[in-house]
Structure 1
Amino acid sequence: MKHIDKADGAGEEFLAFTLGREEYGVDILKVQEIRGYESVTQLANAPDYIKGVINLRGIIVPIIDLRIKFRQQNVSYDQYTVVIIVDLNDRTTGIVVDGVSDVLTLAAEQIKPTPHFSGELATDYIRGLGSVEQRMLILVDIEKLLNTEELAALEAVA
């Protein structure tokens, strides 16, 4: 795996994670920490992909299961289930994923633009497609992926 020295100004770092058989990448600067899945306090009338909230060192953090949001089948919670704590516009949020693999540095030429699809397929949250050797990462803009108005409403309830 080719890593580029960050000091030369080239490349961006992404945390690679899996949802089902697909591999995604999120800007490492948005990631605060990675935790194992723990029980959450459920909120009434929340969408099914919002699992609830946890108390993280005195901060109430909404937990969103991206596997459910992406309509993945057979979602289970076990010792391998991971929560990535991310910072979204000064709002701490947890996202549940199947697993985290590594941190990759991608040079600009390794990031391809998002293909355009006609119809109702929403792809505005995809920054591009990253390729490293035989791997393809779907690079997500986590702010666009998670609806911040919805998170703000959740925090008001919590």
Structure 2
Amino acid sequence: METIAEEKVIVFELNHEEYAIPVQQVQSIEKLQYITRVPQTKAYIRGVINLRGVVLPIVDLRLRFGMDAVPHTENTRIIIISIRGTEVGLIVDAANDVLDIPVDSIEAAPKVVGSIHTDYIKGIAKLERRLLNLLHLEKVLQMKEENESLVQ
């Protein structure tokens, strides 16, 4: 029996679009909590939280992608991700589900003229009735203006 290569992802929502990140990079999904603002940081870096004794930077993905800020709801979540040993929280509109995506359903991200965040998308997964934007987390966390990154 032939096995189909699959990638397990966490699906979340931003501005009524679905995005996905590899489940192995997700540490936890938390309800929104108090965020302490850090002076002189970019607007999309909302501040830090104390999560079980660990202070984590929090990035608002709506602001990072140039979307309008909206009031947070009961569905708003912070997805705690880990890249190269650094943990960062990402504010999303909602965390929807965990899916196994067949690798052969993933296509390269189209270069859409005028789209602000195509650099942050590493591919599009075409499922039956859904299109999922697969995020390139290292590029999302790269701060081009200073040529720095939130992850070392």
Which TM-score band (shorter chain)?
Answer: 0.7 to 0.9
Equivalent residue for 2:132?
137
Amino acid at match of 1:37: L
Which one is further off, 57-66 or 71-80? 71-80
Matches within 5 A, 1:8-157: 8=3, 10-117=5-112, 123-147=118-142, 149-151=148-150
**Alpha-carbon distance in structure 1 between the residues aligned to 2:116 and 2:83:** 24
Distance 1:118-1:11 versus aligned 2 partners, 3 A rule: same
Identical columns (%) = 36
Listed one character per residue, the Cα deviations across residues 95-124 of structure 1 (whole Å, up to 9, x for unaligned) are 000001111111122101111356885533
Report how far residue 143 of structure 1 moved.
Answer: 1.4
Amino acid at match of 2:138: E
**Alpha-carbon distance in structure 1 between the residues aligned to 2:92 and 2:55:** 20
Report how far residue 40 of structure 1 moved.
Answer: 0.9
Which one is further off, 77-86 or 29-38? 77-86
Report how far residue 64 of structure 1 moved.
Answer: 0.5
Q: Which ranges of structure 2 fall in alignment gaps of 5 or more residues? A: none
Q: Which ranges of structure 1 fall in alignment gaps of 5 or more residues? A: 1-7, 154-158
Tell me which stretches of 4 or more aligned residues in structure 1 moved more than 4 Å. 117-122
Listed one character per residue, the Cα deviations across residues 25-66 of structure 1 (whole Å, up to 9, x for unaligned) are 001110000001111111001111111001112211000000
Which one is further off, 143-152 or 127-136? 143-152
Amino acid at match of 1:53: V
Distance 1:87-1:124 versus aligned 2 partners, 3 A rule: same
Distance 1:117-1:71 versus aligned 2 partners, 3 A rule: closer
Distance 1:49-1:139 versus aligned 2 partners, 3 A rule: same
Normalised by the length of structure 1, the TM-score is 0.83
More helix by share: 1
Amino acid at match of 1:132: L
**Alpha-carbon distance in structure 1 between the residues aligned to 2:115 and 2:80:** 30
**Alpha-carbon distance in structure 2 between the residues aligned to 1:59 and 1:152:** 16
More strand by share: 2
